[in-house]
Structure 1
Amino acid sequence: MVDGIWLYLPHPVEQFLAQVLKAKFTECDYQGAQAYLSQTLPEGSYLTRNGAQVLYQAKRVLDHLGVLFWISGGTCLGWYRQCGLIPYSNDIDVEIPIQHYSANIVPAFLKAGFKLVHVKGKRSDSYQIAMIANNIKFDVYFIYEEKTHRWVGTTDSTNGKKYKYILPKFDTCWTDFKGCRVRVPCPTLPYITAYYGENWNTSVKRWNWRRSNSNAQKNGVWPKDEWKIKKSNRF
């Protein structure tokens, strides 16, 4: 209190000041979204009605742990293309740098009411966590850094085949997405184009994660004794 007035300061101050240097804010392309939606019949879905609340719940968990993340994949595409969630999608995607992995992530989500769907891969290769809340799947992909690019991986749980998605180098910016302050890849277009190709602005309702991504590569097969796919409450 100073001169009878309560003053509020960010805590911890050092962390706040460190973020200021990289706290660039960007908005979705409202004009582009209007143009896209004008050519598409308006659609609503369970995800568009309830997904923002699940994203907010997940953000609270990860922020409390101090884990860096950004919206990714189809969730990032929905933000960039139509300033919203894609109605025919059935999940929310985020990416986390593998160096920000914490053994507390899953327990914290479970404590917050999420249920574990599966854990795939290893921390050294193609690590992925999937959870569910309010009947909405929440996918956490861990991203790996190489000299010339980044990549995320996943595993086909039916046969142990691995897939790698190659991404360009990028920074992150802040945005307001459905009332939730989250990070997005920045610049966003090269990221979106890497995942969805030059036709990213065209709706594709039947998406095959093994083949549809323009940046998908086969990445070998786990030996059967190393699949280590932990499943719970099948989605």
Structure 2
Amino acid sequence: MTTPEHQPNDPEPTRPPGSAAPRYQDRVYRSPAALVGGVLLLALIGWLGIDAVVTGEGRTPWLALATMLLLVPLVVAYTLRPAVYVNDERLRVRNPFRVIELPWGQVASLRSGFSNEVFDESGTKYQLWALPVSLRARNKAVRAETRAAAQAARAARAGSGSEGSGSGAGSGARASAGRGGLGPGGVPSGPKRAESDRAMDEMREMHELRQSEEAAQGEVTVRWAYEIAGPAVVGAVLLAVLLGVG
């Protein structure tokens, strides 16, 4: 599941002089399950690591510190860090070890399969780590949509059978159909979609609207997250040295 958030304090990307301001600040998509799992893992690593540092003997404290230095950045990278930022001008993908900025004019397509991905005009693929695909959520959404369609069909049959009974009965049938996710006349208010699929739909819509705008042109940029990779590499080297000399 993903959660869209509005970030009123996010810095706006640089815009060409005279270009129109975005209609809204960055909308952020993240996975609440990943955030909760990351916090729990960090708490567990901190508890075990600090206990080993305080009560351990010999090389144990150093091994605990090296292990924490290796694991903490990796947990942050794969759980707390991934996010997708969207505004009128560009799509910014923050993956575990890279940040990719794609102006809408450079986005070729957004595809959903066993993972959610964005392709730029050169054909390069970038996976959206913040929008994991849940087959369970998709199946649940399909079942909910099937139930809504069956309820709409029953409401339509009931409404047609009560047309001769007067406007009062018809109004009652329509009111009953309006409950449970159905719109007027027993028509479903909209297709049920998994959270990540809804996020992809919103981004596809934004892409269609903005890809030809002047403010949405530019080059794709990729930045490596050395602040994450650096400590993890140091921790791995330190751990290997400690184990090697043991």
**Larger relative contact order (CA 8 Å, sep ≥ 6):** 2
Q: Max radius of gyration: which structure?
A: 2
Task: Name the TM-score, length of structure 1 as normaliser.
Answer: 0.21
Name the structure where helix makes up a greater proportion of residues.
2
